[in-house]
Amino acid sequence: MSVESLKASLRTVPDFPVKGILFWDVTTLFKDPGCLREAVDILYDYYKDKGITKVVGLEARGLVLAPALAIRLGAGLVMARKPGKLPAETYSGQYMKEYGPDTIEIHKDAISPDDVVLIHDDLLATGGTVEAVVQMMEKHFRPRKMMANFIIELEELNGRAALPADMDVMSVIKV
């Protein structure tokens, strides 16, 4: 299995969720046990020696691989969810998606200043979601270090520009 095999397992859906958006669907990668294992293995191999203590999975598809990656890294799992989905007190961050405004929340007790945080999502497009999470981390949690990774990066949308220049950012598949 290779990154090219993972890329070939993806499906694109035109005009979803709104007209003009080409949606990159990772569910086709997730349903294949070999692809799923390969994606987790690639991420684990990259991060295994970086001292990660918390993996932050972003709703919704970022929550699919985040638990497996956290288990493999011996780290805790933190969920970044849509408003009203987390049961305790939260911090929230607002951002713009390609097709409108949105909000994401994290429990106030999720991260400590000693944590080394790995933010995980399925897709880096414009970078709005991950930028909102990074801003929450910097403002409220101030972890020792932050890194980010994605299964897919849409390079033409330049989402990396929304992240700190010195942040370790890794994408498995770049299109």
On whether residue 140 sits in a domain, the answer given is yes
Which residue in the list 11, 72, 81, 98 is annotated as catalytic?
Answer: 98
Contacts of 151 (CB under 8 A, 6+ apart): 6, 26, 29, 39, 65, 121, 122, 123, 171, 172, 173
Q: Is the preceding omega at residue 87 within 30 degrees of 0, hence cis?
A: no
pLDDT in tens, 61-92: 999 999 999 999 999 999 999 999 999 999 99
- 146, 170 contact by CB (below 8 A): no
Whether residue 81 lies in the annotated active site: no
Q: What is the pLDDT of residue 100?
A: 78
Q: What is the pLDDT of residue 171?
A: 98
Strands 22-25 and 54-58: unpaired
Task: Provide the whole-model pTM.
Answer: 0.96
DSSP 167: S
- 69, 96 contact by CB (below 8 A): no
Q: What is the pLDDT of residue 97?
A: 78
Which tokens hold the place of 143? Answer: 């972890």
On whether residue 37 sits in a domain, the answer given is no
On whether residue 131 sits in a domain, the answer given is yes
Q: How many domains does the chain have?
A: 1
On whether residue 1 sits in a domain, the answer given is no
On whether residue 115 sits in a domain, the answer given is yes
Q: What is the pLDDT of residue 1?
A: 73
Q: What is the pLDDT of residue 122?
A: 97
Whether residue 155 lies in the annotated active site: no
The string of DSSP codes covering 107-160 is ETTS--TT-EEEEEEEEESS-HHHHHHHHHIIIII--SEEEEEEEEE-GGG-GG
Q: Could you tell me the CATH number of the domain that includes residue 60?
A: 3.40.50.2020
Which residue in the list 61, 81, 105, 160 is annotated as catalytic?
Answer: 61
Q: Provide the residue range defining the domain that includes 165.
A: 51-174
On whether residue 129 sits in a domain, the answer given is yes
On whether residue 100 sits in a domain, the answer given is yes
- 88: burial class by Cβ within 10 Å (0-12, 13-18, 19+)? exposed
Residues of the chain with pLDDT under 50: none
Q: What is the pLDDT of residue 96?
A: 85
On whether residue 152 sits in a domain, the answer given is yes
